[in-house]
Amino acid sequence: AQTIHQWPVAEIKAVGSPLSLGCTIKGKSSPNLYWYWQATGGTLQQLFYSITVGQVESVVQLNLSASRPKDDQFILSTEKLLLSHSGFYLCAWSLTSAETLYFGSGTRLTVL
Amino acid sequence: SQWGEENLQALSIQEGEDVTMNCSYKTYTTVVHWYRQDSGRGPALIILIRSNEREKRSGRLRATLDTSSQSSSLSITAAQCEDTAVYFCATDDATGYQNFYFGKGTSLTVIP
């Protein structure tokens, strides 16, 4: 069975500090991977997607970057956090375009 | 933006009632996903309807898709307390670029 694990579960960080969030998918080779951001009470905004190792496409510019160093790993990061980065970050995978998205449990980020 | 008409933001109904949530989209899509998100969790797919389908049922759920009006609906029959959640519709942009757009979402509360 496929599993998706996100870490950490929650972070409280200072404005201007760096950030790294991670996501690992087990049990599925070469999945499409996604990062989404959700403001409290808001909808999901797609940030990045990746269809293969080493290739990441940006959907919106939010002073964040993403990398896929391994087939099963997706990393979201920034060198300098802004207050507006607060929210709920979700990693997801799918087999192909337009198919089901399987989400992780998310990381709650609070920037102070 | 992929989205036109706003989804309802919040609905509150009595247990046993039926409820329908609507969404509309601006550009062609090959599929409409409906996701359910419980508090503090990642969304989970509950029903997916493709552009060549007009209706899809799954238990007490019924999704419809009208490609001519570019709209979709999700109905829940005889709602139960455990149906309390936020419901999102999502579409792809049919470009093959792995972009999924989520609607505003509907926060459904079922009162016992």
**Domain boundaries along the sequence of chain A:** 3-111
Establish if B88 touches chain A: CB-CB under 8 angstroms: yes
Phi-psi category of B105—alpha, beta or left, where left has phi over 0 and alpha has psi -120 to 50? left
Confidence of residue B75 (pLDDT cuts 50, 70, 90): very high
Confidence of residue B94 (pLDDT cuts 50, 70, 90): low
Is residue B98, in this structure, part of any structural domain at all?
A: yes
Omega before residue A31 within 30° of 0, cis: no
Q: With 90 as the cut, is the pLDDT of residue A65 above it?
A: yes
**HSE-CB of A5 using CA atoms within 13 angstroms:** 8
Q: With 50 as the cut, is the pLDDT of residue A106 above it?
A: yes
Burial of A99 (0-12, 13-18, 19+ CB in 10 A): middle
Establish if B40 touches chain A: CB-CB under 8 angstroms: yes
Question: How far is residue B93's CA from residue B79's CA, in Å, rounded to a whole number?
Answer: 31
Contacts of B35 in chain A (CB under 8 A): 101
Instruction: Determine the average pLDDT of the residues in B76-96.
Output: 90
Do A103 and B42 lie within an 8 Å CB cutoff?
yes
Higher pLDDT: B79 or B99? It is: B79
Is residue B63, in this structure, part of any structural domain at all?
A: yes
Give one DSSP letter per residue of B26-43, joined into a string.
SS--SEEEEEEE-TTS--
Q: Percent of chain B scored above 70 by pLDDT? A: 88
Q: Which of A34, A43, A46 sits opposite B88 (nearest CB)?
A: A43
Q: Of A26, A23, A25, which is closest to residue A35 (Cα–Cα)?
A: A23
Give one DSSP letter per residue of A24-58, joined into a string.
EEES-SS-EEEEEEE-TT--EEEEEEEEETTEEEE
The B residues from 52 to 81 touching A (CB cutoff 8 Å) are: none
Is residue B93, in this structure, part of any structural domain at all?
A: yes
User: In this predicted model, what pLDDT tens digit does every residue of B29-57 receive, in sequence order?
Assistant: 888 999 999 999 999 999 999 989 999 99
Identify the pLDDT of residue B52: 92
Note down the domain range covering B18. 10-105
Is residue B4, in this structure, part of any structural domain at all?
A: no
Instruction: Determine the average pLDDT of the residues in A17-35.
Output: 94
Is residue B110, in this structure, part of any structural domain at all?
A: no
CATH top class, domain A3-111? mainly beta
Is residue B111, in this structure, part of any structural domain at all?
A: no
CATH number of the domain where residue B17 is located: 2.60.40.10
User: In this predicted model, what pLDDT tens digit does every residue of A81-91 receive, in sequence order?
Assistant: 999 999 999 99
Q: Of B56, B88, B110, which is closest to residue A45 (Cα–Cα)?
A: B88
Domain count, chain B: 1
Question: How far is residue A85's CA from residue B65's CA, in Å, rounded to a whole number?
Answer: 35
Is residue B1, in this structure, part of any structural domain at all?
A: no
Is residue B46, in this structure, part of any structural domain at all?
A: yes
Instruction: Determine the average pLDDT of the residues in B75-97.
Output: 89
